[in-house]
């Protein structure tokens, strides 16, 4: 794999990591997602977090899907 492809994949993984972290912070500050940033971040991360959330057993008010996604993204970043 060329250096350009490797850098592109690494950039995409970092961008998704930042989006997931923003979603976690926004869930504390703006849980309804009414801000302009929330209106972008929530739909952008839902295709990633939604399937994992459905696969996990219910834990009440605690959503562990961002933690799982961040662990997987970290492992993928270590490969590149």
Q: What is the pLDDT of residues 17-61, one digit of tens each?
A: 999 999 999 999 988 878 999 999 999 999 999 999 999 998 888
Report the number of distinct structural domains present in the chain: 1
User: Looking at the whole model, is its pTM more than 0.85?
Assistant: yes
CB burial readout 7-44, b (16+ within 10 A) else e:
eeeeeebeebbebbebbeebbeeeeebeeeebeebbee
Range of the domain at 44: 3-79
> pLDDT-derived band of residue 14, with 50, 70 and 90 as boundaries?
very high
């Amino acid at each position: 794999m060329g250096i350009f492809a490797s850098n592109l994949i690494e950039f995409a993984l970092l961008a998704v990591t930042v989006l997931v972290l923003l979603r976690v912070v926004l869930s504390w500050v703006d849980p309804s997602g009414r801000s302009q940033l929330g209106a972008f971040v929530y739909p952008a991360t839902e295709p990633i977090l939604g399937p994992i959330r459905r696969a996990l057993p219910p834990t009440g008010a605690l959503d562990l899907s961002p933690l799982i996604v961040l662990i997987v993204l970290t492992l993928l970043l270590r490969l590149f």
